[in-house]
Structure 1
Amino acid sequence: MSKRMMQAIRVYQYGGPEQLKQEQISCPEPQPDEVLVRVYATGVLPIEWKIRQGLFHAFNPATFPYIPGSAFAGVVEEVGSLVTTFRSRHQSRPPTTLPRLPPVRRPARRGQAVFGRSNKGTYAEYTTVSGETIALKPESLGFDEAATISGGATTAWEALFDHGELQAGQRVLILGAAGGVGSFAVQLARWKGAQVIGTTGAANVDFVRSLGAATVVDYTSTPVEQVVHDVDLVVDTVGGQTLESAWPVIKRGGRLVSTAGQPSKEKARELGIGALFFSGGRPSSERLQTIAQLIDEGQVKATLARIFPLREASLAHELSQSGHGRGRIVLHIAD
């Protein structure tokens, strides 16, 4: 019996978008605790061009060749012998400030539409994924939209509730509120009952307001520190000078959580602020399911920036690297 083959993007060395090479390779085989998924769409996360450029080489060198990508949506092709339902073996830390939605556990089987996070690469027609980091796709979303959730909504949730400990009635400032993480952060913070302030460019002011931000600051014309004060939490998705501009607006005892850069520990101590950087963890099946339910209830929506075919992965990276956009860039792989 001949081995199944697939189209995939691989990277053989650090460099620009031209390092993304499409080729035919063998389809992966799932381990007993894994699921083989036919990938219909994959999100293009900013961290992926940074890895390709070698920006993390000093502390997390890449192993070449590798397939980029982690956030996906697709259809179950094979189920490992140890996977019975999509749930975590170890319960994830519950969000202490939020009600838990009732779990819905269904047997894992071939043909199910799913989404989640894989550490095996998703710029490919197939990927394998742990049964603990996958969930049933929201019924109200197509595959392209569902591919934006893991790495978008899940990262926003972690920033707001796990690290930021956001409470109802608190003031939260979201830097980069129109992007793939920021757009979900605005909606989740609004759902929690927080007062939401967002920054974005002029073209996206109305969009961010439509997501639920009470106040929207156009950073191209107004420095945020001139109009925003005494916030309990800042979620930064931009980094650089944008991150630095946030220090004066945070009240003493507040928090700064960045997904795009390491805040100064010295400045945080000086100002009495809790500050940290994280790049997003692997979401549990329960977390994915909770967000899927919020989407199907109409509490949260996904926004696509642009859709590219797999063969144009390099163009998708160029757009991602430009740093300006609304929602998440997606590679569409199968119909």
Structure 2
Amino acid sequence: MATTTMKAIRLHEFGAPEVLRYDDVPIPAPGPGEVLVRVHAVGLNPPDWYAREGMPDVPPELKPPFELPLIPGTDVSGVVAALGPDIGAGPDRFSVGDEVIGLLRFPTALQGSAYAEYVTAPVADLARKPATVDHAHAAGLPMSGLTAWQYLIELGHDHPSPFQEATHRPIALDSDTTVLVNGAAGGVGHLALQLAKWQGARVIAVASGTHEAFLRELGADEFIDYTEQRAEDVVRDVDLVLDTVGGPDSRRFLRTLKRGGSLFPVYFGDFDDAENAELGITVTLTQVRSSGAQLAELARLVDAGSVRVALDSTFPLTDARAAHERAARGYIQGKIVLTVAG
């Protein structure tokens, strides 16, 4: 490698998007079980702006360790540039030049240092990039896709949730299942809708009216414009609600579920265990975790055309501030992605 430095976005202080700085930093060296990835695109996710703000609303005991200066970002698509020691052997071994995607080190580390020209990545977090899409679309897949997968298809780990004692277990989805996806146009939502359809379920999509055509195209059987009517006022007897918005208002979806149904809030809300038991409804959530194996399954679905990643907007790495400002405005359709010049 001819140079020893690279460009990266760093936080030197917490705050609004203007604290994101474009810096010169050393190119990292891959450690045991890692490769060095030449980054082509980076997907944005809520933990990115939580980190930028310093996670002020998160209890100290739930905060992963992090210190400044910090390079944000966890979702990456790029090309293997160098190999660290002890990366394993066999036909699935990564080689220099391989195109890869990954959700890096989450949630062990709050951020995986992906807003950069190069990043080190544990091989266990990586999968081969879908061949049918470019790096920008591929970078939109890891965290959102794995969140949808681990909620709906297979949890794939036995780590306890930091938010509740109950273990999250996806339910079986088939043609007899009706799934309501709240926030269906967003990063997690639009991928979850497609995974539910892939499993044969009937899907009710909830979003603002501007997203109806987009969600119908992705396969939504029914659409509810939340600016016109509240889903809990018009929907009954669904089997599963995936609330990608979550938070304090998630409890309102209890009335949409049949007895024996499940409510999966991506962001924990205010629930009463006794009420849930009386209604016969299971409410569980989990925290998405890095998984190269599950990401490989998602990549295969992308290549097969069963799942597609939609891009809301793209910004060059130098304009990370504008990307964060776009995220703050909301009403996102798909994913926001940073592109890195080759």
TM-score, length of structure 1 as denominator length: 0.89
The 5 A counterparts of 1:258-273 are 258-266=265-273, 267-273=275-281
The 5 A counterparts of 1:1-335 are 4-53=4-53, 54=55, 55-56=57-58, 58=60, 59-60=62-63, 62-84=66-88, 105-119=91-105, 120-162=112-154, 163-168=169-174, 169-240=176-247, 242-266=249-273, 267-283=275-291, 285-335=292-342
CA contact (8 A) 2:151 2:285 kept: no
2:166 is aligned to none
**Consecutive unaligned residues in structure 2, runs of 5 or more:** 106-111, 155-168
CA contact (8 A) 1:76 1:112 kept: yes
| 1:233-255 Cα distance to aligned partner (Å, 9 max, x none) | 11111124652331211222221
2:161 is aligned to none
Deviation at 1:272, TM superposition (A): 2.9
Q: Distance in 2 between matches of 1:221 and 1:326?
A: 19
Q: Distance in 2 between matches of 1:236 and 1:85?
A: 41
| 1:184-231 Cα distance to aligned partner (Å, 9 max, x none) | 001010000111111011110111111111111111101101221111
Deviation at 1:113, TM superposition (A): 0.7
Distance 1:151 1:32, change over 3 A: same
Deviation at 1:321, TM superposition (A): 2.2
Matched to 1:50, the amino acid is: Y
* Partner secondary structure for residue 264 of structure 2: strand
CA contact (8 A) 1:85 1:131 kept: no
Deviation at 1:13, TM superposition (A): 2.5
CA contact (8 A) 1:263 1:277 kept: no
Deviation at 1:258, TM superposition (A): 1.8
Q: Distance in 2 between matches of 1:323 and 1:240?
A: 16
CA contact (8 A) 1:304 1:330 kept: yes
The number of residue pairs the alignment matches comes to 316
| Identity between Structure 1 and Structure 2 (%) | 37
Matched to 1:297, the amino acid is: A
CA contact (8 A) 1:75 1:112 kept: yes
Q: Distance in 2 between matches of 1:19 and 1:216?
A: 39
Q: Distance in 2 between matches of 1:2 and 1:161?
A: 44
CA contact (8 A) 1:36 1:76 kept: yes
* Partner secondary structure for residue 173 of structure 1: strand
Q: Distance in 2 between matches of 1:171 and 1:268?
A: 19
Deviation at 1:106, TM superposition (A): 3.2
Matched to 1:167, the amino acid is: L
Name which of structure 1's ranges 255-264 and 133-142 shifts more when overlaid on structure 2: 255-264
Q: Distance in 1 between matches of 2:261 and 2:19?
A: 42
**Consecutive unaligned residues in structure 1, runs of 5 or more:** 87-104
CA contact (8 A) 1:175 1:242 kept: no
CA contact (8 A) 2:247 2:270 kept: no
| 1:67-106 Cα distance to aligned partner (Å, 9 max, x none) | 11101100000112211369xxxxxxxxxxxxxxxxxx53
Deviation at 1:288, TM superposition (A): 1.3
Matched to 1:45, the amino acid is: N
* Partner secondary structure for residue 65 of structure 1: coil
Name which of structure 1's ranges 291-300 and 157-166 shifts more when overlaid on structure 2: 157-166
Deviation at 1:265, TM superposition (A): 4.1
* Partner secondary structure for residue 153 of structure 1: helix
CA-based RMSD: 1.9
Name which of structure 1's ranges 186-195 and 313-322 shifts more when overlaid on structure 2: 313-322
Q: Distance in 1 between matches of 2:297 and 2:89?
A: 16
Deviation at 1:160, TM superposition (A): 1.0
Distance 1:157 1:123, change over 3 A: same
